[in-house]
Structure 1
Amino acid sequence: MSRGDMILHLFAGGCGGTVGAILTCPLEVVKTRLQSSGFSLHPFCLNPGVQLSVTGGGVLRPASFSPGLLEVLRNILEKEGVRSLFRGLGPNLVGVAPSRAIYFAAYSGAKENLCKVLKPDSTSVHICAATFAGFTSVTATNPIWLVKTRMQLDTR
């Protein structure tokens, strides 16, 4: 792969990741809040009228209310305002642009090298290149995602 192609892949991945992160940030915030608020269980062995909820620590407790997507969204808007739907966008942008850039560049580089060893453009080349690219980008940017999640859970 030429240096120009590598830079093009880095730039394209970074731009695509940035636009995607901005558009999906409100959904990410709601998803993170839903994941941290617990979920309802209806075990077969219990009375169907009894609803249990799993807390963050994995502890079962009776739950009278398990918030849904719209309830969480409305709650965020009422109590925290529209800006809070973009909480964690900074670290997300700091992470997603390099993550996508690293992924695109690693995928194209791995694919080019694997085509020399395996049957060119075969399924195994694509699978191996994608695996390598995913591992590389996730490993390099994992600390940024931790910061983003903690910011999204902050209700100040």
Structure 2
Amino acid sequence: MSAQMPVSEVNGITPFQQMLSSCSGAIITSLLVTPLDVVKIRLQAQKSPFPKGKCFVYCNGLMDHICVCENGNSKAWYKAPGHFTGTLDAFIKIIRREGIRSLWSGLPPTLVMAVPATVIYFTCYDQLCVALKSRMGRHSEVAPLLAGALARVGAATVISPLELIRTKMQGWGPTLLRDVPFSAMYWYNYELGKRWLCEHYNTREPTFTVTFIAGAVSGSIAAVATLPFDVVKTRRQVELGEQEALNLRAQAYPSTLSVMRKIVAENGATGLFAGFLPRLVKVAPACAIMISTYEFGKAFFNKRNKERAVPTLQSSS
């Protein structure tokens, strides 16, 4: 792969191979990050037990969704037996008492929704980025920003109906308000950071380390910049989820601006950045693992295709 992701890199592999690369990346990311959120929710349940009808957000860095407590703390993946003194203690005690598989008890819903969403998103981004770069001429540096935004809109539009069928609480609009700016900033900074790191390390092809660092940094920047929208989205999801779980009459759907004003009035401007560290700790490694795995997969298929093409050229000559 070249430092500037030329058209030949993307054309060097088929869309199906791009889909395989993004699928493997989503699965690996889910496997590595899910235990962190399972432990976080167990610690949260211990500190403040979830009563029936209470909602909480489950997020592993790839996507998030609302979970409703149906019978108190009866569901295994957020049940809170014993006492945990911290994250490491929770990891050790959960593994000892319940087995290592319990750390991935939140994995199935992630795989059902996150994998297809990620495959659509990453494949669309690559295809759009190449098409936009070829048409934008000297303004091609902006292509990742536009491609990232458009790819996120497309993925959210396709996946949102499936999510609505499952929970009726996600909503297309609030998702776009957070995820489209995130995606635009993420891809723009990622491509910029990857190019800079390649120049810094004097390498034509971005290594796994280069893509990992670029993914982590760009993901961190986007996560911090869009945190207020994440706070608003989470609050709206939780409120709507609890209303539905308790069979309460739904109130008028508040606008994003009105929710922001309410948060500022109650908690000050810092309230819009609540959960800063947990979001950063989760999103940064998820972005780094996902993009580096995806780029590795594309490089693998590109090399494989070139090796297959050599005997064909030799035989034809």
Shared fold (TM-score greater than 0.5)? yes
Query: Which runs of no fewer than 5 residues in structure 2 stay unpaired?
Result: 1-9, 49-53, 56-82, 168-317
CA separation of 1:37 and 1:121: change in aligned 2, threshold 3 A? farther
Q: How far apart are residue 114 of structure 1 and its match?
A: 1.9
Q: How far apart are residue 124 of structure 1 and its match?
A: 1.2
Aligned to 1:14: 23
CA separation of 1:104 and 1:74: change in aligned 2, threshold 3 A? same
**Are 1:38 and 1:66, in contact at CA under 8 Å, matched by a contact in 2?**
no
CA separation of 1:66 and 1:7: change in aligned 2, threshold 3 A? same
Q: TM-score, length-normalised on structure 2? A: 0.32
**Are 2:43 and 2:84, in contact at CA under 8 Å, matched by a contact in 1?**
no
CA separation of 1:38 and 1:11: change in aligned 2, threshold 3 A? same
Counterparts of 2:156 and 2:98 in 1: how far apart (Å)? Answer: 31
CA separation of 1:66 and 1:24: change in aligned 2, threshold 3 A? closer
**Are 2:121 and 2:154, in contact at CA under 8 Å, matched by a contact in 1?**
yes
Q: How far apart are residue 138 of structure 1 and its match?
A: 4.3
More helix by share: 2
Aligned to 1:108: 126
Tell me the number of residue pairs that the alignment of Structure 1 and Structure 2 aligns. Answer: 123
Within 5 Å, give how 1:56-95 maps onto structure 2. 68-77=86-95, 80-95=98-113
CA separation of 1:73 and 1:140: change in aligned 2, threshold 3 A? farther
Aligned to 2:141: 123
The share of aligned pairs that are identical, in percent, is: 27
Query: Which runs of no fewer than 5 residues in structure 1 stay unpaired?
Result: 40-55, 58-64, 148-156
Q: Which runs of 4+ in 1 moved over 6 A?
A: none
CA separation of 1:102 and 1:36: change in aligned 2, threshold 3 A? farther
Q: How far apart are residue 102 of structure 1 and its match?
A: 0.8
Q: Return the structure number with greater relative CO, CA threshold 8 A, min gap 6.
A: 1
Aligned to 1:31: 40
